[in-house]
C-alpha cells in the first residue's frame, strides 16, 4: 500500500491502480497469513498481490472502464475471473487504470478520475493500452500478476511496451463474464506477468468452461506438456517476412535475432505469406466499431461531452458502419479462419514482432483531451489484429531493448487451443533475452 501511495505521489505519477481499499487489502492479507500458518494455502496464488483492469467487475469497486460516467454504483458481484482469483487466495490490491472505454492503444486518459498511466521504463513514454494500469502495476513491482482485456491488442501492447509477458488466449478459453462486452466477438481476458512461467500458472487458474459465458462452453482440456523441453525440435515456426519487417529498424533487428535463436534451438523456420492482411485489418476495425456502437450508442448520446476526444472520434466513426459492411466483415472472417487452418496444418506457430515500435513519447497536448494519431495507433496494433479477428491465441514475450532502454517484444501465435505451444516457444524467447533491465521506476515490495 505504501508503494501504491508513493507511485501516485511522484512528480510524474504512475497512475497504475485507480481504486483500492486499505481495509479490503488487510482483510485478505490476514486471511492468507492464517492459512499459511495452518499449512493450508488455497493455491500457489494464495497471498499473491494481483490487480484487475477497471473494465472487469471487482467487489466493492466501480466498474468505470476508464470513464467518468459508467459504474456510478459499486459492483455487487464479481466477474468469473475475479471469483477464481479469490478462490485461489489471491490478494486483490485494487482495480487498474485503462484507456477510456478501451478504445486506444497508448493508455492516454486525461479525465479527472483516472489520469494517464506512465511507463515505468521511462515515465515520459506511454505504457500502451488499453490495459495500461495492469502493465504498469506489474512492471513497477506493485504486483506480479494483473489481468487485462484484449479486443485488439489491449493486453499484448502494454505488455510489449512495459517489458512483460502478455497472453491473449483462444477466444472463449478464459471467461469474460463480468467484463464490459463493448466488443464481444473479439474480446479475451488475459494475464500480464513478468515471466512466461507466471503467465502459464495464471492461465491454468483462469481458463476453462464457465456456464455463465457461452462462448467458451465447449473447449478441450488444458495441456502444458513440453513447456520445459530443452529444445524446440519438431516445431515449425512460420514467418511472413514482408509482414514481419513492417516495423522500426531496432525492433526488426532484435526480433530477427530472436527468430535465429529459436532456429538454433531446433525449430524449423518456414516462410509463409498471409493473404489479405490489409483486408483483415479493415474487417477487424469494422467488427470493432460495429459492436462498440451497438453497445455504447445510448451512452454516446447521453454522455458525449464527458468523453475524451478519442472516444468521441471513434464512436462517431463507428456510427457510420453499415449492415452491409458487417456482412462483408463476417465473410472476411470466414476466409481468414479457413486460411489460418491451412497454415496451421503445416506449422505450429506464426512469429511477428509484438509491436512495430517501442513505447511512444507522451506529448503535452495529449494530456488535455486525449490522443488521435493514426501512425502511433498503427505502430502499436499492426501485429495484434489477426489474433483477435480469428480468435487464435497469442503471446508476447520481451526480447530485448532499444538504445534508449525501452522494451521490444516478439509475438507468437498458434492455432486455436494451443496455448501450451506458445508457452514452450515463449520460454525460449526468454532464454534469448540475455538480461532483464529494471525499470527506472520500480518498487521492491518484498524488501
pLDDT single digits (tens) 35-89: 999 999 999 999 999 999 999 999 999 999 999 999 999 999 999 999 999 999 9
Range of the domain at 159: 2-432
Q: Considering the chain, what is the average pLDDT of its residues?
A: 96
User: Is residue 226 over pLDDT 90?
Assistant: no
Please identify which of the residues 7, 96, 130, 292 carries the catalytic annotation: 130
User: Is residue 371 over pLDDT 90?
Assistant: no
pLDDT tens for each residue of 166-209: 999 999 999 999 999 999 999 999 999 999 999 999 999 999 99
User: In this structure, is residue 444 part of a structural domain?
Assistant: no
3-state SS class at 395: strand
For residue 154, indicate whether it is catalytic.
yes
3-state SS class at 411: strand
The pLDDT value given to residue 155: 98
The pLDDT value given to residue 372: 85
For residue 334, indicate whether it is catalytic.
no
Please identify which of the residues 7, 131, 140, 154 carries the catalytic annotation: 154
The pLDDT value given to residue 249: 98
Q: List the CATH number of the domain containing 391.
A: 3.90.1300.10
User: In this structure, is residue 64 part of a structural domain?
Assistant: yes
The pLDDT value given to residue 119: 98
Cα distance between residue 309 and residue 370, in whole Å: 5
| Largest Cα–Cα separation, the chain | 62
The count of domains in the chain is 1
pLDDT tens for each residue of 289-309: 999 999 999 999 999 999 999
For residue 151, indicate whether it is catalytic.
no
pLDDT tens for each residue of 129-178: 999 999 999 999 999 999 999 999 999 999 999 999 999 999 999 999 99
The pLDDT value given to residue 430: 97
User: Is residue 447 over pLDDT 80?
Assistant: no
Average pLDDT over residues 204-225: 95
In the structure grid, which three cell numbers stand for residue 104, read together?
Answer: 486506444
**φ/ψ of residue 404, rounded to 5:** -90, 0
Average pLDDT over residues 384-400: 98
User: In this structure, is residue 422 part of a structural domain?
Assistant: yes
Compute how many other C-beta atoms are within 10 angstroms of the C-beta atom of residue 204: 14
Q: Are 126 and 107 in contact (CB under 8 A)?
A: yes
Contacts of 253 (CB under 8 A, 6+ apart): none
Cα distance between residue 43 and residue 85, in whole Å: 10
User: In this structure, is residue 60 part of a structural domain?
Assistant: yes
The pLDDT value given to residue 30: 98
Q: Using the 8-state DSSP alphabet, how is residue 216 labeled?
A: G
Cα distance between residue 159 and residue 129, in whole Å: 9
Strands 349-353 and 236-239: parallel
Cα distance between residue 197 and residue 170, in whole Å: 18
Place of cell 504512475: 14
User: In this structure, is residue 440 part of a structural domain?
Assistant: no
HSE-up of residue 72 (Cα within 13 Å, Cβ side):
1
Cα distance between residue 15 and residue 57, in whole Å: 19
231-245, 356-370, 384-398: the lowest-pLDDT one: 356-370
User: In this structure, is residue 443 part of a structural domain?
Assistant: no
The pLDDT value given to residue 445: 84
233: exposed, middle or buried (Cβ count in 10 Å: 0-12, 13-18, 19+): exposed
In the chain, the percentage of residues whose pLDDT exceeds 70 is 100
Q: Could you tell me the pTM of the whole model?
A: 0.97
15-19, 232-236, 377-381, 416-420: the lowest-pLDDT one: 377-381
Cα distance between residue 92 and residue 99, in whole Å: 21
pLDDT tens for each residue of 245-287: 999 999 999 999 999 999 999 999 999 999 999 999 999 999 9
User: In this structure, is residue 447 part of a structural domain?
Assistant: no
Amino acid at each position: 500500500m505504501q508503494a501504491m501511495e508513493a507511485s501516485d505521489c511522484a512528480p510524474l505519477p504512475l497512475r497504475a491502480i485507480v481504486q483500492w481499499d486499505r481495509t479490503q487489502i488487510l482483510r485478505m492479507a490476514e486471511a492468507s497469513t492464517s492459512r499459511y500458518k495452518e499449512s493450508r494455502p488455497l493455491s500457489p496464488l494464495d497471498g499473491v498481490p494481483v490487480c484487475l483492469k477497471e473494465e472487469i467487475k471487482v467487489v466493492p469497486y466501480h466498474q468505470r472502464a476508464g470513464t467518468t460516467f459508467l459504474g456510478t454504483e459499486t459492483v455487487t458481484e464479481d466477474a468469473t475471473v475475479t471469483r477464481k482469483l479469490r478462490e485461489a487466495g489471491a490478494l486483490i490490491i485494487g482495480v487498474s487504470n485503462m484507456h477510456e472505454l478501451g478504445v486506444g492503444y497508448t493508455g492516454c486518459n486525461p479525465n479527472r478520475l483516472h489520469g494517464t498511466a506512465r511507463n515505468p521504463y521511462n515515465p515520459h513514454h506511454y505504457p500502451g493500452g488499453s490495459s495500461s494500469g495492469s502493465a504498469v502495476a506489474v512492471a513497477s513491482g506493485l504486483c506480479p500478476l494483473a489481468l487485462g482485456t484484449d479486443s485488439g491488442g489491449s493486453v499484448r501492447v502494454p505488455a510489449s511496451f512495459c517489458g512483460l509477458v502478455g497472453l491473449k488466449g483462444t477466444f472463449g478459453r478464459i471467461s469474460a463474464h463480468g467484463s464490459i462486452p463493448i466488443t464481444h466477438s473479439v474480446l479475451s481476458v488475459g494475464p500480464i506477468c513478468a515471466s512466461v512461467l507466471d503467465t502459464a500458472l495464471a492461465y491454468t487458474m483462469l481458463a476453462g468452461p464457465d456456464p455463465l459465458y457461452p462462448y467458451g462452453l465447449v473447449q478441450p482440456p488444458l495441456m502444458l506438456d513440453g513447456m520445459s523441453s530443452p529444445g524446440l525440435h519438431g516445431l515449425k515456426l512460420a514467418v511472413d517476412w514482408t509482414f514481419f519487417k513492417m516495423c522500426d529498424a531496432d525492433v526488426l533487428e532484435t526480433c530477427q535475432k530472436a527468430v535465429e535463436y529459436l532456429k538454433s534451438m531446433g525449430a524449423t523456420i518456414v516462410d509463409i505469406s498471409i493473404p489479405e492482411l490489409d483486408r483483415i485489418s479493415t474487417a477487424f476495425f469494422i467488427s470493432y466499431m460495429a459492436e462498440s456502437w451497438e453497445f455504447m450508442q445510448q451512452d454516446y448520446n447521453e454522455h458525449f461531452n464527458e468523453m475524451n476526444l478519442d472516444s468521441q472520434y471513434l464512436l462517431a466513426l463507428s456510427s457510420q458502419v453499415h449492415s452491409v459492411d458487417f456482412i462483408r466483415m463476417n465473410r472476411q472472417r470466414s476466409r481468414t479462419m479457413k486460411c489460418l487452418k491451412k497454415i496451421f496444418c503445416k506449422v505450429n506457430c506464426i512469429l511477428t514482432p509484438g509491436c512495430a515500435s517501442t513505447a511512444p513519447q507522451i506529448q503535452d497536448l495529449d494530456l488535455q483531451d486525449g490522443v488521435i494519431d493514426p501512425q502511433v495507433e498503427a505502430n502499436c496494433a499492426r501485429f495484434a489484429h489477426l489474433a483477435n479477428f480469428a480468435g487464435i491465441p497469442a503471446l508476447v514475450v520481451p526480447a530485448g531493448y532499444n538504445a534508449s532502454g525501452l522494451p521490444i517484444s516478439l509475438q507468437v501465435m498458434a492455432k486455436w487451443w494451443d496455448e501450451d505451444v506458445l508457452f514452450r516457444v515463449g520460454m525460449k524467447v526468454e532464454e534469448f533475452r540475455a538480461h532483464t533491465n529494471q525499470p527506472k521506476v520500480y518498487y521492491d515490495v518484498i524488501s
